Structure 1
Amino acid sequence: MPSIGTAKWEGDLKSGRGEFVAGESIGGNYSFKSRFEDGDGANPEQLIGAAHAACFSMALSNMLAEAGHTPQSVETTAKVTLKLLDSGPTITKIELTTVGTVPGLDEAAFLEHAEAAKAGCPVSKALAGVEEITLDASLAG
């Protein structure tokens, strides 16, 4: 099943504005200020971060369950860094931070599964061109 996102931009880069919709009901506004400064609204990097965090959490939960350790929860944050390089705006780094609540699993095993999820989730694979993707994984408590 294909997933659909749409966006519309009106005007020039600095004074224009845009609207996006992910799926049928997730939407927002974006602008130059929301993307490159501290303006109100969303930006594409937030959407990439949310997609990466969601995909990674699902992949890790699945791997843990398949290994006999069904998690109570896996909570992930993806911090996406956009830098203005000579070649233009570029996503240079994504920092994944995940905390799992997994009864009966030790930290080393959790980290092993987390590394596998980082390498295997479809969004991680799609973001393979990002120079650096880091992972800080730990168990709750």
Structure 2
Amino acid sequence: MAIQKQGSAEWKGSLKRGKGVVSTESGALKDNPYGFNTRFEDQPGTNPEELIGAAHASCYSMALSMILGQSDLEPESIKTEATVTLDQDDSGFYVSKVALKTVARIPGADQQAFEKAANDAKEGCPISRLLNADITLEATLEG
């Protein structure tokens, strides 16, 4: 079964002075601005790395929930941050690393089961599988 979802972007102008908007088919993002200044100068708006981070964090959290459910564990909460690192070499810019940091509250879970589920989710989440970057994980079980 293949599922297709769509995101789109429109760019107008040169790299440094141009501007763009990014949208999703679902309407969750609608003409959100992005540009050189939002990517490299911390101006308001989004950028590709932050969107990848949000996609990875949300996908990972869902994958972890699924894997926990296979062991009859239901999380009260899973909070995940994905920090995407943009580096530059002689060939240009590239994403070199994604650092996942997750904190979960899971009644009945022990540390060993949690760590196994957390690492299985890191390896198996569709966005992890998509990315060729070095993906690290810091997983914390609360309570």
The TM-score range, normalised by the shorter chain, is over 0.9
1:39 Cα deviation after fit: 1.7
Unaligned ranges ≥5, structure 1: none
CA shift digits 1:81-109 (9 cap, x unpaired): 11122111100110000011100111221
Which of 74, 78, 92 pairs up with 1:70?
74
Equivalent residue for 2:123?
Answer: 119
User: Separation in 2 of the partners of 1:83 and 1:23?
Assistant: 30
Q: Would you say 1:53 and 2:50 are equivalent positions?
A: no
Amino acid of the residue matched to residue 82 of structure 1?
A: L
Equivalent residue for 1:137?
Answer: 139
Which of 4, 7, 15 pairs up with 1:5?
7
Unaligned ranges ≥5, structure 2: none
* Identity over aligned pairs, percent: 47
Q: Would you say 1:82 and 2:83 are equivalent positions?
A: no
Displaced runs of 4 or more, over 4 A: none
User: Separation in 1 of the partners of 2:25 and 2:122?
Assistant: 24
Amino acid of the residue matched to residue 62 of structure 1?
A: M
User: Separation in 2 of the partners of 1:29 and 1:6?
Assistant: 12
1:140 Cα deviation after fit: 1.6
Secondary structure at the aligned position of 1:76 is classed as strand
The TM-score, its normalising length taken from structure 1, stands at 0.95
User: Separation in 2 of the partners of 1:32 and 1:51?
Assistant: 21
The TM-score, its normalising length taken from structure 2, stands at 0.93
Aligned length: 139
Which of 28, 36, 51 pairs up with 1:32?
36
CA RMSD of the aligned region, Å? 1.0
